Amino acid sequence: MADRVAFRTCPLCEAGCGLEIELTTKPDGSEEVKRIRGDQADVFSAGFICPKGSTLKHLHEDPDWLRQPHVKRGGQFVPVSWDEAFETIAAAVGPLMDEHGRNAVGVYLGNPNAHSLGPMLYNKGLLKTIASRNIFSASTVDQRPKEVSAAMMFGSVAVPVPDLDRTDYLLMLGANPLASNGSLCTAPDFPGRMKRIQERGGKVVVVDPRRSETAEVCDQHIAILPNGDAYLLAALANVLFEKDQVGRLADHTLGLDDLRTRLAPFTPEAVADRVGIDAETIRTLADELAAAPTAAVYGRIGTTCQEFGTLTSVLVDVVNLLTGNLDRVGGAMFSCPASGHPTSKGEPGTGRGFRMGRTSSRVSGTNATFGEFPVTVMPEEIETPGEGQIRAMVTVGGNPVSSNPNTVRLDAAFASLDFMVSVDPYINETTRHADVILPPPSPLQKPHYDLALLQFGVRNVANYSAPVLPLAESQMDEGEIIRRLTAVFAGDAASGPEAQAAADAIDDFTAAAFAGAATRDTFSNVAGRDATEIVEATERTGAERLLDIALRTGPFGDGFGSEDRGVTLEQLEANPHGVDLGPLDEERIPGILRTPSGKIELLNEHIEAELDRLGDTMAAEMPEMILVGRRHVRSNNSWMHNVRVLTKGRNRCTLQIHPDDADRLGIADGGAAKVRSRVGELIIDCETTDVVRPGVVSIPHGFGQNGEGVQLRVASEYRGVNTNILTDEYLRDPITGNIALNGVPVEVAPA
């Protein structure tokens, strides 16, 4: 029997599944996790859980998870106190910034930040305090094209999500939710939601160069050539324009006629060879989308991590628009998170919209987006001497040496830094270069609320999780770590009571900023109120205070007493299975639009240039072999491979190659192959299979944790390789600089 049962939301991916955690009491009075399973009463996930969610106990007990700060001395990491760690950072970064300026410090924010409450709330203050232009994040590894396309079309990062629970027809491009759940689409039990579409008589179609796990269970799989999605979507839109179909929102849209003209060359017949799909199939697909009672087009990693990532993302929503399914029940809809959304700021039609080119990188002149440079320019900014050269790095929750392109070059660049500090629990491929590592507590020791991910929820819900287990004496709360680090870069005391006072002052300042923003928001339920009064009314501290302000001033909040009822942190604490706020609302356009015109804007100079490039490359010769990525349900980027229960069994890091290509190249099933790209080469075990179409090979991402200095005992035993040895930092989406992880030209030969 369990002595206690706790409930929390799984923080490992975007699905947001509820967990039921049974705990027992040990003889010394401390608690340990006995079992983790899906929370049947969770309002969003209803008991669904993937293999990763049950391993939070293993993560918490992982002996390689650092429990206190580590400082590198004589080339070796040694544990130190928190005060000593922050003093070491202050002693290094203060003189460095005095001599070379604040742009000499680069910052990389990794994917786990989106799943962690402390970083979500306090990273912005850290970035402002460091005040460097050299900011990077994992967003330009996978999702920036979708964010930018939404900002271009709607004026803010309001990303439409497929209304999975009510649609009759789902077309997915470059998505494999049976392996990765949703992405920029928070949907627990995505597989079950797909199955229910079929059970109610609907249809699910998957477009992917691989017959993925999702494609195996869908109604139709269309095996497209890599990097072909923009051509296919342009052809679908072309057919819809032929039908004189302009959707319900024509009066709220600019550029329809111009777009019709620009898409005229992209007929199904014209693109057929480039996409590897016959014209009849393309026309049938367009007809089915137009005829379905409701339909949603959803594109994910496969569509954003390619050379035409932003254009493809725009065309996804163009097709949703033309079929009349944008902002409509059963179509592509806009979430309304309880903690507020960027579209709630300002009045419709008064926004500034999205502008490119305000800041460009020092070396190659690459544009920044949302205040960040693409990670593809990080190596050159470290390597190239001159004013503004990155000499020190701060990484928070990321492993760029593993996850970014041309990993050999980036690894060497990180090794050349004068100083580096990492907020990270592991000594991995990136943090082995750090001088100081500040480890956050395990997921079971942190409060949790999906501030970022519920902005993409397929249903409006709110679910707060208190820490399940307490911090050890040697550990520090993650929000506190970032506030203390912020204080160091502000020049405040690095240790002692003065350091704590500085961190507390940063917390108070952040709370006042949260409240002040809410009182200035025309649509807020506290508009015009006194910000100080709101901060004092929370009766909370730290991250919980900021979250309470966000919830109570959000669209479902109580307005700190101005409403009779509403979502508050107290309410969520009393409802550990979450609070269901209902299905997504339709007809939110034009209310969410923040473009200068107050309308959906389909074209601008960047999209027009990409349409020209799309036409110019339509007849280009395809490489003999093209590399695409893949993911497995038991894997989560690079940081879950130290959990033995997830890595045991067969080798999942293989090169998938079609039997016809294997025979032609002399490669045996189970044998080894040498794969070479412009930037590197590797040797990998082969798996001959017809799940990939001829001319395509696939390698999963996130493997290869066996480099010198990596202290991950389980992961380093695994024989996987890092596919980013092959990916090319200069093969990227030109608008955002996002990496083209898919569509990489390679040569394949027997090893």
Average pLDDT value for residue range 636-658: 85
> What percentage of the chain exceeds 70 in pLDDT?
98
The answer to whether 53 touches 188, Cβ cutoff 8 Å, is no
Highest mean pLDDT among 528-532, 552-556, 693-697, 719-723: 693-697
Query: pTM for the complete prediction?
Result: 0.96
The predicted-structure confidence for 14-46, as pLDDT tens digits, reads as follows: 899 999 999 999 999 899 999 999 999 999 999
The answer to whether 597 touches 354, Cβ cutoff 8 Å, is no
Count CB atoms within 10 A of the CB of residue 353. Answer: 17
- Determine the 3-state secondary structure of 331 from DSSP: coil
E strand or H helix at 62, and its extent? Answer: none
Residues whose CB is less than 8 angstroms from the CB of residue 320 and which lie 6 or more positions away in sequence, other chains included: 160, 295, 296, 297, 326, 331, 332
Cα–Cα dist 659/694, whole Å: 8
CA angle 150–151–153, rounded 5-degree value: 65
The predicted-structure confidence for 606-642, as pLDDT tens digits, reads as follows: 999 999 999 999 999 999 999 999 988 777 777 788 8
Identify the pLDDT of residue 109: 97
**Between residues 311 and 115, the one the model is more confident about:** 311
The answer to whether 306 touches 251, Cβ cutoff 8 Å, is no
Cα–Cα dist 55/645, whole Å: 8
Phi, psi angle pair for 682, to nearest 5°: -150, 165
Identify the pLDDT of residue 647: 81
Cα–Cα dist 500/685, whole Å: 52
Q: Assess whether pLDDT exceeds 90 at residue 524.
A: no
CA distances, 627 to each of 224, 564, 671, 701, 723 (Å): 13, 57, 18, 12, 9
**Strand bridging mode 655-657 / 681-688:** parallel
Q: List the structure tokens of 363.
A: 């070396």
Q: Assess whether pLDDT exceeds 70 at residue 349.
A: no
**How sure is the predictor about 562, in pLDDT bands with cuts at 50, 70 and 90?**
low
Count CB atoms within 10 A of the CB of residue 73. Answer: 11
**How sure is the predictor about 341, in pLDDT bands with cuts at 50, 70 and 90?**
low
**How sure is the predictor about 346, in pLDDT bands with cuts at 50, 70 and 90?**
low
**How sure is the predictor about 573, in pLDDT bands with cuts at 50, 70 and 90?**
very high
Structural domains for the chain: 4-61 (2.60.40.4210), 70-141+356-448+464-469+479-577 (3.40.50.740), 163-339+588-614 (3.40.228.10), 623-750 (2.40.40.20)
Could you give the residue ranges of the DSSP H alpha helices within 568-604?
A: 569-574
Q: List the structure tokens of 76.
A: 């070796």
Q: List the structure tokens of 476.
A: 């520090």
Cα–Cα dist 558/563, whole Å: 5
Identify the pLDDT of residue 644: 85
The answer to whether 699 touches 376, Cβ cutoff 8 Å, is no
Least confident of 95-99, 246-250, 364-368: 246-250
Residue 400 exposed, middle or buried by CB count within 10 Å (0-12, 13-18, 19+): buried
Q: List the structure tokens of 98.
A: 């005095």
User: Average pLDDT over the chain, rounded to whole?
Assistant: 93
Question: In which residue are the tokens 């990180």 written?
Answer: 414
Average pLDDT value for residue range 539-563: 88
**Between residues 636 and 102, the one the model is more confident about:** 102
E strand or H helix at 136, and its extent? Answer: strand 135-137
**CA nearest neighbour of 45 among 572, 577, 467, 456:** 577
Identify the pLDDT of residue 717: 81
Phi, psi angle pair for 420, to nearest 5°: -155, 140
Can you give the length of the chain in residues?
A: 751
E strand or H helix at 112, and its extent? Answer: none
